[in-house]
Amino acid sequence: MQRVAVVDYGGSNLRSVVKALEHVASAQFSVEVVSTPEALRNADRVVFPGQGAIGDCMRHLSDRNLLVALRECVRTRPFFGICLGLQSLMGSSDEDGGTEGLGVYPGQVHHFRTNAGPAADGTPRKIPHMGWNEVHWTRPHPVCAGVPSGSRFYFVHSYYVAPRDESIVLGRTEYIDTFASAIAEGGAFATQFHPEKSAAAGLQLLTNFLHWDGRA
């Protein structure tokens, strides 16, 4: 049986993520909420969901001695980062007056522009970006199999990632500006949107992730 570890750093509501994974998991998977480095390292797959402020997230990860283990897991087994779980992979974030991330990928996390004005149809572009929006894939990937480019996913965020290496960007979304809404490199896959709240398209991504061998 494969162990699927959902990271609990003490600051995220994990229930919807765990329920979605359990919904799509077959009997060969065991979905477990973990909060220790040992449990992370013993997992076959890791899902890192997050919500809230990145400063609190990084402090909680440090307090639980999870920083090193998380960096290892991104590089050594299939890994799925969700929302803050994506943003934390960058080198730093503008949030909370400037916050150092895990530094797995060089890049910055930026706040949406506040002076963008309404969309072309007159719709106000509020921050946070909240609701359904399209994600356009930049290339094929096993985790995206069966999910057409342009599928709609659910977003709730005020910040977005800007990786220095554009080649890791897998999905792009338009809101105020065009931003990276998904990245993939090696065995790591991460999204700004919430697959667990994104109906059939999100469940398909989670299903694909569970059966992915970690190769692009």
Query: Looking at the annotation, which residues are catalytic?
Result: 83, 194, 196
Q: What distance in Å separates the CA atoms of residue 28 and residue 210, rounded to the nearest whole number?
A: 10
CA distance 189 to 42: 19
Which residue type sits at 195?
A: P
Classified as helix, coil or strand, 58 is helix
Size of the chain in residues: 216
DSSP symbols for 60-80: HHHHTT-HHHHHHHHHHS-EE
CA–CA separation, 92 and 99 (whole Å)? 6
Long-range CB contact pairs, 36-41, < 8 A, 24+: 36/64, 36/65, 36/66, 37/65, 37/66, 37/68, 37/69, 39/5, 40/5, 40/7, 40/66, 40/69, 40/70, 40/72, 40/73, 41/69, 41/72, 41/73
